Amino acid sequence: MALLIHSKVIQHRILQVSPIRRRELVRPFHKSFVCQSVSVKDDSYQYIQKSKVPSMHFQKSLLRLPIPELEKTCTRYLRSQKAILSPEEYQVTERAVEQFKTGPGLDLQVQLKQQDKANKHTSYISGPWFDMYLRDRVPVVLNYNPFLAFLPEEKPGYSDPVIRASNILVSSMRFMHTLRDNVLEPVVYHLNPAKTDNQRFRNIVRWMPSSIASYAAYAQKVFPLDMSQFGNLFNSTRIPELGKDSLKCNPDARHMLMMKNGHFYVFDIFDKDGNILSPSHVHACVSYIANSQTPPPSHSLAIMSSENRDTWAKCRAELIAAGNGEALDAIDTAAFNIVLDDHDVGMDPEKMYRTFLYGNGKNRWFDKSFSILLTGDGQCALNFEHAWGDGVAVMSYFNEVAKEISEKPFIHPDSKPANIDASQYVRRLEFNLTPSLKQAIENAVQTYETNTSALQVDVLESDVFGKNSCKKHKVSPDAMMQLGFQVAYYLQHGTTVATYESCSTSAFKHGRTETVRPATLETLAFSRAVASSQPPSNAELKKLIMECSKVHGNLTKEAAMGQGFDRHLFGLRKIAESAGGPMPELYTDPAYAKINHNILSTSTLPSTAISFGGFAPVVRDGFGVGYQIQDDRLGIVLSSYPPHRDGVGFIECAQKAYEIIYNVLNKA
């Protein structure tokens, strides 16, 4: 087959990948266990892997994110709106859309395409999406930063926070070094891994010029993913600035950041030649910090990273003027952050959720690209700032590190830290705080406690059904989870609302995400049917479920191919805003605000390395729905803000909804 396949053929092939399989980018790791012996200078220690195919080999030749046809976007938009609007509201919206697609929308589409053509190095959504994140003035905690919890450590002794933190740090540095030296395996999706996930494929593509390497992969039904965000994974921080924040990254920095009791500690993890220091040296530095008895500061600067962005920007400027610039730079440019908390959480999902989503704001730095959080009993999670990137980079790192610390940790319960004076290597950062800064910190503490105490967390763990049951009945597991949310909300409120599910567009150069809209006419029909006092026959209900699954699958495929309507309308709106003048009626129509006021914000990451994850609602009167479906069970971790929403009631309705779905599918 010719290497230069027409892009529509390639796109068609990506469409054939099932939504669930497409997201499972990393193979499950095994639980076998090997003790590592270390020769520090050897490549076997310095790198977590040494790929024959350079990490960024496919980047130059990735397909560009397509701009959908205006007519199709308008059709998709109306179909989604019809599920959540009254007939009267829909008529108004229908007129606004008709006027848009035959009037101002045509000119905006031309301008968007011209702008895209002039910027072939990126995607039409990348710049505006970064801008959206960085201009928002709300605190990043609760509003943007999610968390992913590692599986509990099962091996005796390895859950000790010092042991676990040291192992995570060593494996993280190996991943980082591998990425920096361009020998990290490129992130790709194999449509048929039995045929292509092998050395033959790698030998073919490694010799292809990077300008056509992706096409060589496409020819073998292998789909490389965009890795442009990997550059901000390490040594990166969001910097508060008035009006719009910035991202700061210094890949030459050699040090690490750790926090305990509201104090910041830094120490080098690479030597002057760029080699990772020994595991015993890392162990000694982590132990020194963990054993520190320094009491918490009376005013912990850390809380400021939880503030309104303009408030924080003004305080940062004052901090620098007071002589704290060097200390702030040490935080900003550190590889990443490890946080040690003293309290235990056990296996209580609510305690873990609250600790990992926000926790003690005086012992966090929410602006860091990501932080690894460890409790006193060794439970562990990753909390990350969202402006710099999405799931592909984070999950690649998370899965590789989780796999290595499970199978081949470098530090063991009987390991001895290096015989060094760690105080000569670890530095505690000091800050000069003016009276006005101390007052700002006190204000931030009060705001933080008010905001976080308002959050409610509820959990559903159910064995009513799982992936196996879905496969048996030939329905999408993700579609059934989403259908459950729709039925639950309908049972609770008697209506359907705007619902958001994120879908990666990383198959394209500088792709970010697209929105799947799970609230459809089909889910509404099923919800109404099961809530009716005279429901239709089981055969009719089953037919409705099958239609829900089919439509959800199509929506997911369209989103992954950049053919959703949300990002396209967003891009067109940004063009209209930049021109000044009155906005098209489509954007001033209350329905546009309604569909973007996502009452149900949902997300899942089907990785075997993740225990669970979570995030807060994106609107005050909404739900944040983190979910997983496994072979024979399903789970939801739900966040809400009472009295705006009743989380307990939603969980009860969700359990009932999944029982209804199961009974319909399994009834003869």
pLDDT digits (tens, 9 = 90+) for 478-515: 999 999 999 999 999 999 999 999 999 999 999 999 99
Confidence at 23, pLDDT banded by 50, 70, 90: very low
Q: Which of 24-38, 52-66, 110-124, 238-252 has the lowest mean pLDDT?
A: 24-38
Over pLDDT 70: what percentage of the chain?
94
pLDDT band at 37 (very low <50, low <70, confident <90, very high): low
Give residue 608's pLDDT: 86
pLDDT, position 30:
39
User: What average pLDDT does range 124-149 have in this prediction?
Assistant: 97
Over the stretch 140-154, which tens digit does the pLDDT of each residue have? 999 999 999 999 999
Confidence band for 26, pLDDT divided at 50, 70 and 90: very low
Show the tokens assigned to 160.
């000790």
Q: What is the pLDDT of residue 40?
A: 77
Quick: pLDDT tens for 226-250.
999 999 999 999 999 999 999 999 9
Percentage of the residues of the chain whose pLDDT score is greater than 90: 92
Give per-residue burial for 630-640: e unless 16+ CB within 10 Å, then b: eeeebbbbbbb
Task: Give the pLDDT of residue 38.
Answer: 67
Rounded to an integer, what distance in angstroms lies between the CA atom of residue 531 and that of residue 490? 8
Question: CB-based burial of residue 620 (10 Å sphere; 0-12 exposed, 13-18 middle, 19+ buried)?
Answer: exposed
568 is catalytic: no
> pLDDT tier at 187 (50, 70, 90 boundaries)?
very high
Place 294 in a pLDDT band, splitting at 50, 70 and 90: very high
**pLDDT reported for residue 607:** 84
Query: pLDDT tens across 547-584, in order?
Result: 999 999 999 999 999 999 999 999 999 999 999 989 99
Q: What is the pLDDT of residue 125?
A: 97
List helix spans (H) across 2-69: 7-15, 19-23, 43-46
Residue 252: Cβ within 10 Å count: 10
To which residue do tokens 């009743």 refer? 646
Would you say residue 337 has pLDDT above 60?
yes
What phi and psi values does residue 356 have, to the nearest 5 degrees?
Answer: -85, -25
pLDDT at position 41 is 75
Scanning the structure block, which residue is given the tokens 């926790």?
359
Question: What's the pLDDT score for residue 31?
Answer: 45
Q: Is residue 270 scored above 80 in pLDDT?
A: yes
Residues forming a β-bridge with 381: 149, 373
Q: For position 391, what pLDDT does the model report?
A: 86
pLDDT tier at 218 (50, 70, 90 boundaries)?
A: very high
List, for residues 599-612, the tens digit of each pLDDT value.
999 999 778 899 99
350-380 tens-digit pLDDT = 999 999 999 999 999 999 999 999 999 999 9
Using a CB cutoff of 8 Å and minimum separation of 24, what contacts does 439-442 make?
A: 440/304, 440/307, 440/311, 440/315, 441/299, 441/300, 441/301, 441/303, 441/304, 442/299
Taking residues 649-656, report their average pLDDT. 98
Nearest CA to 513 among 239, 249, 226, 246? 226
Structure tokens at 224: 């490389």
Q: 215 to each of 4, 26, 57, 62, 584, how far by Cα in Å?
A: 6, 22, 12, 8, 40
304 and 335 Cβ atoms separated by less than 8 Å? no
Q: How far is CA 94 from the centre of its chain?
A: 34
The CA distance from 215 to 60, in Å, is 11
pLDDT at residue number 667: 87
Kindly state the DSSP code that residue 124 receives in the 8-state scheme: T
The confidence score (pLDDT) of residue 416 equals: 96
Q: What is the pLDDT of residue 635?
A: 95
- DSSP SS3 for 597: coil
Annotated catalytic residue, options 386, 412, 493, 597: 386
Q: Is the pLDDT of residue 89 over 80?
A: yes
At residue 9 the predicted structure's pLDDT band, cuts being 50, 70 and 90, is very low
For the cut 90, the answer to whether the pLDDT of residue 225 exceeds it is yes
What's the mean pLDDT in 636-651?
Answer: 97
Closest CA to 288 of 314, 269, 316, 267: 267
Q: Is residue 29's pLDDT more than 60? A: no
With a cut of 70, say whether residue 33 has pLDDT above it: no
pLDDT of 649 strictly over 90: yes
